[in-house]
């Protein structure tokens, strides 16, 4: 009797070990019956038919994969090294098992190829200043490529764009030249505005000689306020300015 009880316990333990599975909330079980895919189960308790059914456990949480630095030649023939990170999750557990051998490796490889392809169509200035749009473009193309594998790309982020030191110096010189150009333009615009104002003032003063005389006296007052200067005035010109006679 004891031997039968022990034998029953042995078969019960064997049944539990080979047939009973518990799937967590973030896990799904891809069930195969005699090698053929039948259905996806979980979460919760799953009972398999011993020696007939088997399963593959799939995690459906968001995963991250780092895209190693890639050598990219931009549209304006500048060589850069770009690294990124891709966020994705499994939306079809059966597809990632049946349709692709190693979906994590496949996602990493296609991400590297897509990164080089997208960035190669943009100039360096666009890479540095418009990362958000580039991230969106890479995500859309990558999501389209992995859709058949049951994978959804949730986000792509370009982490770093490394430039050659000589290119960094060239960009710095270009930025300095651009600042000097803008400064010269602003200075020229200021001189032009000042010249226009002086021309308008001269036109107004020429219409009334007494206004010119008052301006002349005001200038003399300003000069006389500086005690370090010696002022020599032509007397006839001064009297003419005051009296308005020639």
Which residue, of 137, 163, 189, is where some domain finishes?
163
Within 13 A of 196's CA, how many CA atoms are on the CB side?
Answer: 6
For 109-137, write each residue's pLDDT tens digit.
999 999 999 998 888 888 888 889 999 99
Which tokens is 21 given?
Answer: 């599975």
- How far apart are alpha carbons 68 and 90 in whole angstroms? 22
Q: Name the burial class of residue 84, with classes exposed (0-12), middle (13-18) and buried (19+) by CB atoms within 10 angstroms of its CB.
A: buried
How do residues 163-214 score in pLDDT, each as one tens digit?
877 666 666 677 777 778 888 888 888 888 888 887 777 777 667 666 666 6
Domain stop point among 95, 130, 163? 163
For 81-103, the DSSP string reads EEEEEEEEEES-HHHHHHT-S-H
Say if CB 65 and CB 88 are below 8 A apart: yes
pLDDT at 242 over 60: no
Provide the domain count of the chain: 3
Tens digit of pLDDT for each residue in 231-241?
555 544 544 55
Q: What is the pTM of this model?
A: 0.65
Rg (CA), the chain: 41
Question: 189 lies in which domain range?
Answer: 169-243
Q: Which of 163, 192, 218 is the last residue of a domain?
A: 163
The verdict on 92 and 74 lying in the same domain is yes
Return the beta strands (E) in the chain as ranges: 20-23, 27-33, 36-41, 44-47, 53-59, 63-73, 79-90, 151-163
For residue 43, how many other CB atoms are within 10 A of its CB?
14
Closest CA to 150 of 66, 42, 40, 22: 40
Are 92 and 122 in a shared domain?
yes
Query: Residue 90 maps to which CATH number?
Result: 3.30.479.30
CB neighbours of residue 122 within 10 Å: 18
Question: Both 147 and 189 in a single domain?
Answer: no
């Amino acid at each position: 009797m004891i031997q039968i009880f022990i034998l029953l316990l042995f078969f019960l333990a064997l049944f539990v070990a080979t047939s009973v599975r518990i799937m967590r909330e973030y896990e799904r079980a891809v069930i195969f019956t005699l090698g053929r895919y039948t259905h996806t189960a979980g979460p919760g308790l799953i009972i398999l038919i011993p020696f007939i059914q088997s399963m593959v456990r799939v995690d459906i949480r968001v995963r991250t994969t780092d895209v190693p630095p890639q050598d990219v030649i931009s549209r304006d023939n500048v060589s850069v090294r770009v690294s990124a990170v891709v966020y994705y999750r499994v939306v079809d557990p059966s597809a990632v098992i049946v349709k692709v051998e190693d979906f994590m490796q496949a996602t990493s490889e296609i991400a590297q190829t897509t990164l080089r392809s997208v960035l190669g169509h943009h100039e360096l200035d666009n890479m540095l200043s418009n990362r958000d749009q580039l991230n969106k473009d890479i995500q859309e193309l990558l999501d389209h490529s992995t859709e058949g594998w049951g994978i959804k790309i949730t986000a792509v982020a370009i982490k770093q764009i490394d430039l050659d030191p000589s290119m960094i110096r060239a960009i710095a010189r270009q930025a300095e030249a651009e600042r000097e150009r803008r400064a010269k333009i602003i200075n020229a615009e200021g001189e032009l505005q000042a010249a226009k104002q002086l021309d308008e003032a001269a036109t107004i003063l020429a219409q009334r000689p007494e206004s010119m005389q008052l301006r002349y006296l005001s200038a003399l007052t300003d000069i006389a306020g500086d005690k370090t200067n010696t002022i020599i005035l032509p007397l006839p010109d001064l009297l003419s300015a005051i009296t308005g006679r020639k």
